[in-house]
Chain A
Amino acid sequence: EVQLVESGGGLVQPGRSLRLSCTASGFAFGTYAMTWFRQAPGKGLEWVGFIRGKAHGGTTEYAASVKGRFTISRDDSKSIVYLQMNSLKTEDTAVYYCTRDRAVSDYWGQGTLVTVSS
């Protein structure tokens, strides 16, 4: 059974950093791209970015709103994908979800809440 479990969310002050993790199980993690999405309170879904699998260079793509501040990385030995969030802004407050794949996003985790506030 495919499972994705996000962790690392919490309350953080503007300008600070936070790292989210998404632990995967039930599939060949290394062969899949992994994607991060978010949903701010009362808003719609927003794509954050994704990381390709090793076979495709492990390269990354980001939304303009987070480019230069957020970094996605992966540890295939542990089946974990990370979202490093720096220089956080109040508008980054959202539930963050990781998903399997970059084009279909078939499986979603439960999400982890990040609140950026002073």
Chain B
Amino acid sequence: DIVMTQTPLSSPVTLGQPASISCRSSQGLVHSDGNTYLSWLQKRPGQPPRLLIYKISNRFSGVPDRFSGSGAGTDFTLKISRVEAEDVGVYYCMQATQIPVTFGGGTKVEIK
């Protein structure tokens, strides 16, 4: 199974300041179809998970442009350019290139 390692575990951020979350996979994530199925999801308390970024850097419909994804190979990053109060929650990276689909352990974003 591909192991996804996220850092940091927790990220206290001042409102309006940037935040960055890293995700490292134990193997490369390029699928045989040429795509890299690395996604970022946001989980707010009491809400279902929400897709933010798919295939490394594609912002999903309705996601604010302060969220961006980047990376290649085995190293990926989610950046929030200016954290807003509504961004509080746990963020997960997910790989769906190889079965079983696996997740990082999550990064809790909270306001300082």
Contact = CB atoms under 8 A, between A and B. Distances in A.
Interface in B83-112: 92, 94, 96-97, 99-106
Contacts of B31: 103
Interface in B64-88: none
B49 A63 contact: no
Looking at chain B's contact residues, the main secondary structure is loop
Given A44-B92, A45-B92, A64-B100, A106 B105 contact: no
Given A97-B48, A111-B48, A106 B103 contact: no
A45 B94 contact: yes
Q: Chain B contact residues (Cβ within 8 angstroms of A): what range? A: 20 to 34
B96 A105 contact: yes
Q: Chain A contact residues (Cβ within 8 angstroms of B): what range? A: 20 to 34
A106 B94 CA distance: 12
Contact of B96 (A45, A97, A103, A107): A103
A59 B53 CA distance: 27
Interface of A: 35, 37, 39, 44-47, 61, 63-64, 97, 102-111
22 contacts: A39-B49, A44-B92, A44-B106, A45-B94, A45-B103, A45-B106, A47-B102, A64-B100, A102-B96, A103-B31, A103-B96, A103-B97, A104-B37, A104-B39, A104-B51, A104-B96, A105-B51, A106-B51, A107-B51, A108-B50, A108-B51, A111-B48
Given A44-B106, A97-B48, 15 more contacts: A45-B41, A45-B43, A45-B49, A45-B94, A45-B106, A47-B100, A102-B96, A103-B35, A104-B96, A105-B94, A105-B96, A108-B49, A108-B50, A109-B48, A110-B48
